[in-house]
Amino acid sequence: MASKVASPGSGRIATNHHTMESPPQRKEIYTYEAPWTVFSLAWSNRIEQNSQFRLAIGSYIEQYNNTVQILKTKYQSQPNSEQPTMQIYSACEIEHPYPCTKILWCPEGKAAASGGSGGANNLGGRDLLATTGDYLRLWSVSDDGKGEGTLNHKREALLINNNRNSEYCSPLTSFDWNEYDPSMIVTSSIDTTCTIWDINTQIVKTQVIAHDKEVFDLAFSRGTDVFASVGADGSVRLFDLRSLEHSTIIYETKHLEPLLRLEWNKQDPNYLATFKVDSQSTIILDIRQPCTPVTVLGGHAGCVNAVAWAPHSSCHICTAADDSQALIWDLTQMSKRPVEDPILAYNAEGEVNNLQWSSSQPDWVSIAFSDKLQILRV
């Protein structure tokens, strides 16, 4: 699938709601058009020598056969232009049963990098990624040796856990990969459970009944011991792996409306972000002051679909919604006064289904809408 480089007319960036055109000497927005609706997406945590970016995107097709594409970028000279332009292309395709509910690349392992313990199996330079859907799957991708920037893929593991005596599995709604111990992944399911996996041994370390109804999302805090989850029962619950006999409910929606997504601020782990199903607002929670949001972000005229904290800043967050907007907010003063307006707004060409903020290259955000992936410099 050929990539498309966005022109200034294919999206607008506005600061304080005043349109700001991209500088002519630098392309700020790059677009890739997939052959299907793009839903799940993730940035690789590795920085490649010959490619500025590596991402994974997953299809949303309402049938068994779906696809994961591994995207890379390259610079190409353009006629009548002194500056080469960056293009996004598919370096590898993976057949995937059912749509991915989430994709993540293996974190580099902050504990291992600082001399601590933990870490995924040494895959000889291959990049490992995981997907959830009917099961948890692990994949690796590596250079195919053709010298064309394309990749080979291999399924490393298929992790199945039926917590009940049944031939059927309960679909997995989400998962998170621990940044400090990359051997640990926790998954959430519609069967009300969260499951902690050791991917080195490919066995379940423990499983907890996390909610009264379906679990929709979860996230690790900074470190290896604490994660939080949200679900159809309208609660945010904290779990400590050192003491799983009980959890702490830090927030419940007023009428127990389901909470769809959860993002933990890795720069300041006192803060969480979540939002309700079919809601136009994003809820910011301080775990030191449970039960009441520290602030609520409006600004959208459609239902919020995704939220991402800035990986390099404790007080910036991006939200995306059905109103075709991605908004970046400055939360520096949220404890003193309401946060009413975003500091930057991007208008996409369709309802934004998902967004991710690159942790390895934090000047860049990716969004998914319709059959397109866009990379935006912020």
How many other CB atoms are there within 10 angstroms of residue 48's CB atom?
A: 14
Which has the closest alpha carbon to 134: 159, 165, 108, 169?
Answer: 169
Name the one residue in this structure whose structure tokens are 């299907």: 36
> What pLDDT is stored for residue 146 in this prediction?
84
User: In 3-state terms, what secondary structure has residue 368?
Assistant: strand
Tens digit of each residue's pLDDT (9 = 90 or more) over 127-181? 899 999 999 999 999 888 887 788 889 898 888 865 544 566 789 999 999 999 9
What's the CA gap between 321 and 212, in Å, rounded? 28
pLDDT at residue 324 is higher than 50: yes
> What pLDDT is stored for residue 121 in this prediction?
43
Decide: 199 and 177 in contact? Cβ < 8 Å: no
Provide mean pLDDT across the span 102-121.
63
Alpha carbon of 337 to those of 251, 264, 313, 340: distances in Å? 21, 22, 20, 9
For residue 301, what pLDDT band results from cuts at 50, 70 and 90?
very high
Contacts of 124 (CB under 8 A, 6+ apart): 142
> What pLDDT is stored for residue 82 in this prediction?
73
For residue 42, what pLDDT band results from cuts at 50, 70 and 90?
very high
pTM of the predicted model as reported, rounded to 2 decimal places: 0.88
Provide mean pLDDT across the span 5-29.
48
Q: Is 187 left (phi over 0), alpha (psi -120 to 50) or beta?
A: beta
Tens digit of each residue's pLDDT (9 = 90 or more) over 330-355? 999 998 899 999 999 999 999 999 99
Which has the closest alpha carbon to 211: 228, 226, 233?
Answer: 233
> What's the distance, CA 11 to chain centroid?
22
Which 8-state DSSP code applies to residue 8?
Answer: G
What's the CA gap between 368 and 69, in Å, rounded? 13
Percent of the chain clearing pLDDT 90 (strictly above)? 70
> What pLDDT is stored for residue 75 in this prediction?
82
Provide mean pLDDT across the span 10-21.
49
